[in-house]
Amino acid sequence: MRNLRKAIQHPLGRPENVAVRKVDLSHPARSPLGTAVVNCAAYRHGVRQDGHRSPEEALAYVRRRPGRGFVWIGLHEPDEAEFEGIADLFGLHPLAVEDAVHAHQRPKLDRYDDTLFMVLKTVRYVEHAQLTATSEVVETGEIMIFIGKDFVVTVRHGGHGSLGPLREQLEADPEHLAKGPSAVLHAIADHVVDHYLDVSEAVRDDIDEVELSVFADIPGRGGDPGQIYQLKRELMELKRAVAPLDRPLQQLSENGLPIIDPDIRRYFRDVADHLSRVSDQVTGYDALIDSILQANLAQVTVAQNEDMRKITSWAAIIAVPTMVCGVYGMNFEHMPELGWSFGYPLVWAVILVSCFLLYRGFRRNGWL
């Protein structure tokens, strides 16, 4: 498992104390905390509680006090040893724990007793000066979320999709955050889907550029099939993140999950509407790229036909002198016009006139 690439500081500038394992702190990608835990906080009535707590202390603090409180722990690419203590503390199901540690999961929503486990694909548009046949356009990562009655555990994989700014936004709205772990789950899902929209718009610009290069009537400029195919492959990465998420969001907006606050369900319907918009865009882009690729291949075929017609036309013109020279090179004794002083100029005249007439005919028919 890859180590933590980037440390996330407490949103208010105060680092949290956590149970520190003996790990290699010299590794440049490790968290300054010394573990995969990058943030740990306890909330009551939507307000972050002061104090530096380990996950165990934060959970005990919440459960000792009545009221709507929960713990939110954020991790980045934990290994099995680092996640083992968290899993035992919150009673997470072993199958979900295995999925959370090992990335490359399909977006989904699973229920294990009183715990929900959701997988979201994060996406990021990779800036590039020029699209090539090897350009990376869409970079993907993953966020796994465990929510229970009084806890949220987020596990992030990939070098992007930090939840630090999102945590700050939620803490600035205590009324919404007071609705509990389901409010955090909604905020993360909404945050991820909004990024889908941003990436979709950016990919559209690349598609427009490729479309222009295919249909531009400029000598020496034309679409590169490899470039178009690479863009289609990158679009598929976005499609794999978007398409499977439709059913989980529908489940979250329905009444079958008591752990989801009733007031939050309608927010999930709004997220599902945004996802439908992205899904329609991606489907349209996919069909458009297919059309662009077909148009490019048709242009290649037309260009090849043009070349073949030119080659055929010149071969037909050259065949005239070749045939005449071949006849007079047979060395027969009795051949017409051999003894005539104007025979040689006449043969050249016949050759030139025949070639001119063929050339003119091919030009008029657009072959040359």
| Domain contains 12 | no
Distance CA 105, CA 94 (A): 15
Percent of the chain with pLDDT over 90: 36
Does residue 185 surpass a pLDDT of 90? yes
Same domain? For 260 and 310 the reply is no
Q: Cβ neighbours of residue 245 under 8 Å, at least 6 residues apart?
A: 107, 120, 121, 193, 275
pLDDT value of position 351: 84
Residues 115-163 pLDDT 10s: 999 999 999 999 888 888 888 889 999 999 999 999 999 999 988 878 8
pLDDT value of position 229: 86
Split into its structural domains, the chain has a count of 2
Same domain? For 135 and 253 the reply is yes
From the list 145, 144, 167, 185, the residue with the least C-alpha distance to 271 is 185
| Domain contains 2 | no
User: Do the Cβ atoms of 164 and 8 come closer than 8 Å?
Assistant: yes
How many helices (H) and strands (E) the chain has is answered by 10, 7
Distance CA 289, CA 272 (A): 25
Does residue 199 surpass a pLDDT of 70? yes
Domain end call among 250, 265, 299? 299
User: Do the Cβ atoms of 114 and 90 come closer than 8 Å?
Assistant: no
Same domain? For 108 and 226 the reply is yes
Same domain? For 145 and 161 the reply is yes
Question: 3-state DSSP: the chain helix, strand, coil percent, rounded to 5?
Answer: 55, 15, 35
Distance CA 54, CA 310 (A): 79
Same domain? For 283 and 360 the reply is no
CATH number, domain containing residue 245: 3.30.460.20
Same domain? For 205 and 270 the reply is yes
Domain end call among 276, 299, 322? 299
> Domain limits at 358?
303-364
Other beta carbons within 10 angstroms of residue 284's beta carbon come to 13
Q: Cβ neighbours of residue 317 under 8 Å, at least 6 residues apart?
A: 355, 358, 359, 362
| Domain contains 8 | no
332 Ramachandran zone, left/alpha/beta (phi>0; psi -120 to 50): beta
Same domain? For 345 and 221 the reply is no
Question: Structure pTM?
Answer: 0.74
| Domain contains 267 | yes
Most confident of 62-76, 119-133, 206-220, 276-290: 276-290
Same domain? For 236 and 138 the reply is yes
CATH number, domain containing residue 343: 1.20.58.340
222 versus 94: the higher-pLDDT residue is: 94
Domain end call among 299, 324, 353? 299
Same domain? For 276 and 313 the reply is no
298 versus 47: the higher-pLDDT residue is: 47
Same domain? For 323 and 248 the reply is no
Q: Tell me the chain's radius of gyration from C-alpha atoms.
A: 35
Residues 189, 193, 195, CA angle at the centre, nearest 5°? 120
Residues 67-81 pLDDT 10s: 779 999 999 988 888
| Domain contains 3 | no
pLDDT value of position 254: 84
Which tokens go with 138?
A: 């869409």
